[in-house]
Structure 1
Amino acid sequence: MKNQLLYSILVFLFYFFSASVTKAQTIDTDSLLIAAIKVTNVEKDYNKAISMARLGIEEAPDYLDFHLLLGRLYRLTNNVDSARYFLNFVIEKNPIYEDAFTYLLGMEYEQGNIEEGLKAADKAISYYPEKVDYYRFKHDFIQLQRDERMEFDFLKAAMTKFPEQSSFRQRMNILELRLDNDRIGVNYSYTIFDREEVGPWHLVGLQYIHERKWGSIIGRVNYANRLSAGSTIDSGYQYELESFFFTGKISYSYVGIAYSPSLVFPEQRYGYSFIQNLKNGWEWEVGARYTSVVPPEGRRNFRSLILGGAKYVGSWWISLRTFIQNEEDQFYPAFTLTTRYYMDTRFDYFTFITGYGTSPDERQTLGQFENRIALDSWRIGGGYFRLLGNRFVTGAQLMYNYQEYSPGNKQNELELFLNLQYKF
């Protein structure tokens, strides 16, 4: 009986001290991890931290935080193979460690390792399909492949899941400009006035658009017919040639020329703009326009400086352009605020436009540019544009303009714009 009691006491003491030792080891391991992280982040002594992390793995081989720390440390010391091993080890054992994916993806991108990076990104997305950071990483690796068609398809799919991502929308719109695309189209503007025997105005344009990887070239023929009291008072043709061409990965330029032998249009018009995309959905523009008109009283020449800025905010694109215009010693300002809400492609959007003044980029009023530039003008309007059946680009826009037609006298104008293009 005494021996049995003694045996029971010894067994109890054995389990008590074993539990105490185990608990002490756990506490020591946690303390070791905290100390190793401090050495890494504060002291920056990576070799010492590596030794501490390896000791932690020896003491607790299933403690994945030590493996994660080692992966990070080996990345910091450019020991890529070891870093890859430990980070993948953590992911295979327990993919809940998001930092393991982040460290691994960042390292593979730094190394330019496209194949391994795409595999890791796909695995991260499979575990965390709602986390946009991993889609950004995948986009980075796809960009390294320089396959713009693949990049466009990826962004188009990603935008359906993350429509609020401004950088995705901005890049997708740029890429769409670089895809092979040919279109023919017609647009029509009908303008009415609230003054007796003034108007309506008709403007018809035929155009061909040729888009390639380098940029685009656009040819356009416009016909204007202006009526008063039911009779034509002025009509004629204008011929335009425009081009948008890429000058870098994130920048492009616009060049345009136009000529008309008719008084209903300016005789000559020349334009240039440089547009650059910035980070976080921003872009800016600087440009110039030269417009020469020949009214009965003699030739007049106008120069315009354009300064603009735009921002993608999710599916929204907001643009403000300022025109500083000059004739001899006179200066005339004009402003245009344009807002678009994109839905699918760059052809699918609602738009809202408001502005002040007359600018050389408004085709509908160019025939009276020299008369209107010094007068007040307030405009507001909106439109809807849509790609139908992947072939037909359609659009309708309605604009209201409160126009001063002579000093102190104003009129109301309403313009309907219709657009139809065919892609082939």
Structure 2
Amino acid sequence: MTLSTEDIKARVEDLFPGIRKDLEDLVRIESVSADPERLSEVEKSAEKTRDLFAAEGFEVEIVRAFDGAPPAIVGEKKGPEGAPTVLLYAHHDVQPENDHADWDTPPFEPTEVGDRLYGRGAADDKAGIAAHIGAVRALGDDLPVTVRLFIEGEEEVASATLPELLGKYQDKLKADVIVIADSGNWDIGVPALTTSLRGLIRVDVELRTLGHAVHSGMWGGLAPDAIMALVRLLNTLWDEDGAPAVEGLVSGPAADVDYPEERLRAESGAIAGLQWVGKGSAVERMWTQPAITITGLDAPKVDGASNTLSPSARAKVTIRIAPGDSGENAVAALTQHLEKHVPWGAELTTKVVDTGEPIALDATGPAYDAARAAFTEAWDGTAPIDMGVGGSIPFIAEFLEAFPQASVLVTGVEDPDTRAHGANEGLHLAEFKKVVVAEALLLQKLGA
């Protein structure tokens, strides 16, 4: 039976207290995959996720790439004979909560304040799991497609075993359409489909100028210290206006989307009077141009520092690479730039920490038509925009490689004030309800 939009909205409304309870139960599990002390919590969240889908009629199991690897959930609920197959993706692991003092509410006790539910993973990405559960629950016996599941347990630690999992369980994951619930919407009341994401490279850069530390009074002014040399080298990474100065990195145009100045400042937390860096429109600088950031420094601390010349210093250079570029090209371009600009004969050492490929999706075809119609109906006539994301979801490239014939839809529950990965992560409850409605409508339209 085909349900009307109003029927689906009514079902989600009735089911929403239970969907929210399932989400809150997941948030209470401290599934921080980066913390070895909480690996048992990651196992617990996998078991809870398995049980939630089993209760909806899925044949579901916990799987691993190999013994000791992080747990993922694979499952299936069959639809009518000959119906399309849709793979639903989310992840059950979460980022560390870091200093509890930075949180206004307990990070692992879901707490409603105003129109939001706060807690680590309340949005990223346990709400993605809950949205999948809610959509299937709303359709019930009227499920018009075969739904397959892949709920990952290591997304927040770079999905190291994902290629092995996709290869090992390819027959159980193969689908006509893949729905990845790990992104966000444009604004409260304005849905979006994510159609491009930047990639990422991280490189540790070390300079050495001396065999050992020496007295700054005796040798200062003659021998360059390593911090001095590293600062000089790092400064060459940007032009005067702050745009990347590394030759060979790819840039491209972005969608013509209005991003008001006041919203940019509010969402970024920019201090009063701060000037933006780079060239081009705001969305080009955030979505389709490279960005270079120093995300870590190893050097003596200010407190207790002695009057010596540091023999070595190290920085982590992170580059967000634009769609159309590749990790291999970006690493080569950065390495060549650093070697060319090493000052004063210092000794340079570089180490590639990791890379992730950028993505530009073909946002056309029947699956995208169905998604746009579903989103427009769920948001009461507001059509979704095609949105770029400046961050990276490297595993999407793995899905595209493993399932080249599938249409990949990147959706999500986040909004500009979600604060994923930071303190006070929160989920806008009214928007979350619309996400559940939209996914149920999408499954129904795909089945048609």
With normalisation by structure 1, the TM-score equals 0.19
Larger RCO: Structure 1 or Structure 2 (Cα < 8 Å, ≥ 6 residues apart)? 2
Structure having the higher Rg: 1
